[in-house]
Structure 1
Amino acid sequence: MILAFDTYYYDNKAKTVGVSFNNWLDDTVLEIKEEIIEDVPDYEPGAFYKRELPCIISLLKQYNLEDVELIIVDSYVLLDDDGKLGLGGYLYNSLEQKIPVVGVAKSSFHLNKTNSKPLLRGDSIKPLYISAIGISLDKAYKLVKSMHGNYRMPTLLQILDTKTKER
């Protein structure tokens, strides 16, 4: 099973949503789970993971991790060419480096040229930025590229994004 997570912040709350699916080519999710956490800490520049990681870890408790082959996060895994950890890297370490993590970010991080790879999908001229840990960057890139959908965002990640922003 593959999991993908996203978090939306509003009114001092964090809504984290997880979708599960079995195959990279799937166009429907197996299951959607969500959790709202109150009194989340403020964003700390350069340390986004401190805000979002506890939300993902909490929702992960609803899954049997033995069934999870990979996790996708709406963020970076590595932040720069020196390998500074981003949200995905901290998640990977918190899972004792047992489950590969792929980051699918919507914006470029200027210090990250070798540990991320821009991916153009559909007719979009704006790439997604793929990063990975526990799996090669090239393999992660190919897997995200293969995901169902004709647009910039793969279908399942668009479902996740939409569901996350629903109140």
Structure 2
Amino acid sequence: MSITPDYHALLVTGAIGLGSILTSIAVVWISRRNQKSQSREKIAELRQAWIADLRENMSQFISIAYLVAVNGRQDKKYHLTDDANKNYRALFYYRSKILLMLDTEKDYTKILKSLMKDVTSNVGKEDTESLKNLGSYAKALEQQCQSVLEKAWNDIKSDLAK
């Protein structure tokens, strides 16, 4: 008795097996691509939240600094009031919060830290020159912060473009 192989059945079985292997490879490739895309989107989402927090905290810091400086010049006893105490506490709270958001290794952190120190040191002074200085330091701080925010926004765009 002689058995001849059924080449058609072998060919179909082989094609089905090869198709299964290729399908598995495609599924793995698509899954990895989706995971990378989701990871980039999550990073972008976290960066966007960081941008919003930095913007909010910096604007609070600068507005409170102006508030304390102007009130202190209008009322010489302002610095002895509960309102002044509350505002000074908020000023240093936002300063600390901003510094904790920043990477200590980055050059922009050193610049922002220095400018925030300049702002806070001019808040309590009563001479008219210190108010001008406060305005200059606050403007420089806003500009430096805008640069940091723009860089973070560009990082988001590059993450999503990959």
Give TM class, smaller chain: under 0.3
Q: Which entry has the higher C-alpha Rg, 1 or 2?
A: 2
- What TM-score does the superposition give when structure 2 sets the normalisation length? 0.27
Higher strand share: 1
- What TM-score does the superposition give when structure 1 sets the normalisation length? 0.26
Which structure has more relative contact order (CA 8 Å, sep 6+)? It is 2
Higher helix share: 2
